[in-house]
């Protein structure tokens, strides 16, 4: 079955694959994770707000994003954001956003909807007595959230946040549709250049499996260590 396989193509190109492709994938994953968690936290607090308008806006955004395929959102931002930006500032020509900036904005805003639900569940997992205790100490809403609720909620949510980040790491491969040289894109270029599609895509699958499986095992161990026993 493997008699005609040329695995030397992997040895010849692994430096390019990891130095260029995987480095881009990890960079985009890290930036999107940080931005997604920050905006997701804000959305979660909006959803839990007593102000109906804020809650409805955040809820509508989360439900909209979670109902749309990611690849479609990637295309939307790549092709429409330059025109929307030009319309906002009154420019005659579309704004040059660039593939990287467009994909970064896309992943931050898309993942924020998922991180929002994780954050909301984490905040709601904290007993209401903790909030009352914060108010009893003279703290306002933001001080109570920042000093009492969120630190405990983040500890509860760390395993789930990391699990969602693993999903994000896998989803980053979709930037291939914009011809960006991520790990999959780099492998595709090598495969088409050398005519070795099966070998390269098999190698990509193995790398993703090993990394994601190892990270999943790490998350499981971390979950046991950080769990708060009540």
Q: What CATH number does residue 118 fall under?
A: 1.10.3720.10
Give the count of domains, the chain: 1
pTM of the model as a whole: 0.84
Among 72, 66, 54, 171, which residue's Cα sits nearest to residue 113?
66
User: pLDDT tens, 195-230?
Assistant: 888 888 899 999 999 999 999 998 888 777 765 545
Six-digit token pair at 217? Answer: 């095992």
Whether 66 is covered by a domain: the verdict is yes
Task: Give the C-alpha separation, 217 to 185, whole Å.
Answer: 27
Among 48, 180, 52, 216, which residue's Cα sits nearest to residue 107?
180
Q: Length of the chain, please? A: 230
Whether 19 is covered by a domain: the verdict is yes
Whether 148 is covered by a domain: the verdict is yes
Q: What is the pLDDT of residue 129?
A: 80
Whether 120 is covered by a domain: the verdict is yes
User: pLDDT tens, 62-72?
Assistant: 999 999 999 88
Whether 74 is covered by a domain: the verdict is yes
User: pLDDT tens, 128-173?
Assistant: 787 788 888 888 777 887 788 888 888 778 888 889 999 999 999 9
Six-digit token pair at 1? Answer: 């079955």
Whether 59 is covered by a domain: the verdict is yes
């Amino acid at each position: 079955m493997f008699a005609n396989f040329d695995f030397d193509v992997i040895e010849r190109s692994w430096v390019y694959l990891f130095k260029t492709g995987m480095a881009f994938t990890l960079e985009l994953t890290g930036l999107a994770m940080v931005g997604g968690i920050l905006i997701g936290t804000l959305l979660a607090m909006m959803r839990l707000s007593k102000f109906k308008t804020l809650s409805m806006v955040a809820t509508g955004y989360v439900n909209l994003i979670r109902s749309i395929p990611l690849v479609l959102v990637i295309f939307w931002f790549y092709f429409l954001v330059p025109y929307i930006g030009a319309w906002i500032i009154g420019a005659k020509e579309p704004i040059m956003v660039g593939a990287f900036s467009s994909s970064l904005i896309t992943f931050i805003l898309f993942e924020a909807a998922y991180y929002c639900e994780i954050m909301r569940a984490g905040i709601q997992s904290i007993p209401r007595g903790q909030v009352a205790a914060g108010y009893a100490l003279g703290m306002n809403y933001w001080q109570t959230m920042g000093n009492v609720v969120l630190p405990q909620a983040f500890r509860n949510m760390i395993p789930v946040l990391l699990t969602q980040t693993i999903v994000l790491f896998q989803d980053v491969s979709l930037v291939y549709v914009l011809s960006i040289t991520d790990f999959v894109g780099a492998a595709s270029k090598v495969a088409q250049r050398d005519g070795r599609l099966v070998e390269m895509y098999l190698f990509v699958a193995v790398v993703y499996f090993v990394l994601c499986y190892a990270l999943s095992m790490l998350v499981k161990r971390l979950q046991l260590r950080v769990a708060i026993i009540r």
